[in-house]
Amino acid sequence: MTDIKTLDLEQLLNLVYQMKWEKYRAIQIYQWLWQKNVESFDQMTNLSKTIRAQLAERFYISRLKLAQIQTGNDGTIKFTLELEDQNLIESVLIIEQNRRTICVSTQVGCALGCRFCATARMGFIRNLRWHEIVEQIQAIINYTGISPTNIVFMGMGEPFMNIEEVFKAIVAINSDYGLRIGARRITVSTAGIPEGIKKLAALPIQVRLAISLNATTDSLRSKLMPINIKYPLNHLLAAAREYIIATGRRLTFEYVLLDGVNNLTADAERLIRMLRNIPCKINLIPFNSFPGADFSTPHPDKVSKFAQLLYPHLPAVTIRKSRGSQVLAGCGQLASRFQNCHRQ
Ligand code: SAH
């Protein structure tokens, strides 16, 4: 038996062609799976009984299992979801006034080893398939009845280390036959992989890009984010500039504030010089701590002081409110540590 959710629209079109069903059946099946989130072929009521029976003979419909739900006092909800191979991943629902954002994972664990990130401690287990990425959203909609307005690829994993599946997931999330979330409401966040940035710029679905900058010198960035050894700052910033030229879109730089490490006046000055001529937003993220972390969170006064140093020169500065940090649902706190992960 095959999980029918592994088939994208093109593969469903091939299937209906082989089965000699009408072409539009592919779209109907896709809508049942990705828009209506049905659990069985019997629920696909606009298909004939014969088609439903033939589908059920060959396929089943997968679903992520809810392993744990934790709600923070700001209303942020962290979902621990179990994959078919029993690996666990985490996804987060963040509710604000006009926005309901779901943060999805793209990998089980992560290979990049950023020093300030809890996911890194898990090591890399495996890439998620595109349908496992989209199913995180479905599981949350199903459980809460809340439909998201925004999707961010900021959960466990590095999206550009799993770029093909991430792009396929974006197609389903954006599709009129899928989750119908506008491209501008989808953001992919990367630790800084220039090839991925180039490929994203060429993607016909114009999603937003965020780059986790986090340091202003190669020596510090390479210590905090070992990927910087392979792709140093000049290489990364060149890719960012190319992205802006190719797409005509601004991008966001994320900057995790680690007290005493990257939040000094000299850091702010270097950041200004580095980004002054790049049309971008800067999102400051006060460090979210987790058990065993080696860094500390700057006092809120220091966070606003850092923002104020930037502000006159880089006006698009925002401070990301720490959401869900008390249930370890904040940025960089996702790691399914409470169960062993299964390697494939
Ligand atoms: N791998 C991708 C997406 C996951 S991390 C990336 O690096 O962008 C999402 C964001 O959380 C990144 O900006 C990252 O720098 C930030 N982050 C990681 N650990 C953090 C922590 N402990 N506290 C606050 N932000 C963190």
DSSP codes, 188-217: EEES--HHHHHHHHT-SS--EEEEE---SS
Give yes or no for residue 288 CB within 6 A of ligand 1: yes
To the nearest whole number, what is the mean pLDDT of the chain? 95
CA distance 152 to 104: 6
Number of helical H runs and strand E runs in the chain = 11, 14
* DSSP helix/strand/coil, 255: strand
pLDDT of residue 94: 95
- 242-266: pLDDT as tens digits: 999 999 999 999 999 999 999 999 9
213 Cβ inside 6 Å of ligand 1:
no
What is the band of 81 on the pLDDT scale with cuts at 50, 70, 90? very high
Q: Which of 94, 101, 110, 116 to mutate to test the pocket of ligand 1 (most atoms within 8 A of CB)?
A: 116
Query: 288-334, pLDDT tens digit by residue?
Result: 999 999 999 999 999 999 999 999 999 899 998 877 777 887 888 88
Query: Which of 60, 83, 108 lies at the terminal end of a domain, its last residue?
Result: 60
Can you tell me the distance from the alpha carbon of 41 to that of 52, in angstroms, rounded to the nearest whole number?
Answer: 6
Q: What is the pLDDT of residues 120-137, one digit of tens each?
A: 999 999 999 999 999 999
**Residue that terminates a domain, selected from 60, 76, 103:** 60
Gap between the Cα atoms of 328 and 309, Å rounded: 30
User: 3-state SS string over 60-128?
Assistant: ECCCCEEEEEEECCCCCEEEEEECCCCCEEEEEEEECCCCEEEECCCEEECCCCCCCCCHHHHCEEEEC
Answer for the pair 93, 102: CB distance below 8 angstroms, yes or no: yes
Q: Do 167 and 154 share a domain, yes or no?
A: yes
Residue 280 falls in the annotated catalytic set: no
Cα of 319 from ligand 1 centre, angstroms: 14
Nearest to 318 by CA among 297, 330, 328, 303: 303
Contacts of 142 (CB under 8 A, 6+ apart): 37
Q: Check if 104 has its Cβ closer than 6 Å to any atom of ligand 1.
A: no
Residue 170 and residue 49 share a domain: no
90 included as an active-site residue: yes
Please tell me whether residues 278 and 153 are part of one structural domain: yes
Write out pLDDT tens, residues 19-28: 999 999 999 9
pLDDT over 70 at 340, yes or no: no
Q: Which of 114, 328, 331 to mutate to test the pocket of ligand 1 (most atoms within 8 A of CB)?
A: 331
Same domain? 225 vs 252:
yes
Same domain, 29 and 113: no
One domain, residues 268 and 190:
yes
Summarize pLDDT for 147-175 with one digit per residue, the tens: 999 999 999 999 999 999 999 999 999 99
> How many CB atoms sit inside 10 A of residue 175's CB?
19
| 193-228 pLDDT, tens digit each | 999 999 999 999 999 999 999 999 999 999 999 999
Q: pLDDT at position 337, please? A: 54
Residue 154 and residue 54 in one domain: no
Domain co-membership, 45 together with 111? no
Q: What is the pLDDT of residue 74?
A: 86
Region 265-284: mean pLDDT is 97
Q: Which residue has the higher pLDDT, 55 or 334?
A: 55
Express as a percent the part of the chain with pLDDT over 70: 97
* Residue 341 within a domain: no
Query: Do 19 and 112 reside in the same domain of the chain?
Result: no
The pTM is what? Answer: 0.95
Q: Please check whether residues 36 and 144 belong to one and the same domain.
A: no
120 Cβ below 6 A of ligand 1: no
How high is the pLDDT of residue 344? 31
Question: Quick one: 129 and 186 in the same domain?
Answer: yes
What CATH number is associated with residue 55?
Answer: 1.10.150.530
Q: Which domain does 8 fall in, by range?
A: 2-60
Regarding whether 227 and 87 lie in a shared domain, the answer is: yes
Q: What is the pLDDT of residue 9?
A: 97
In the chain, beta strands by DSSP E:
2-3, 59-60, 65-71, 77-82, 88-95, 100-103, 107-109, 124-127, 150-153, 186-190, 208-212, 251-257, 280-286, 317-319
pLDDT in tens, 2-16: 999 999 999 999 999
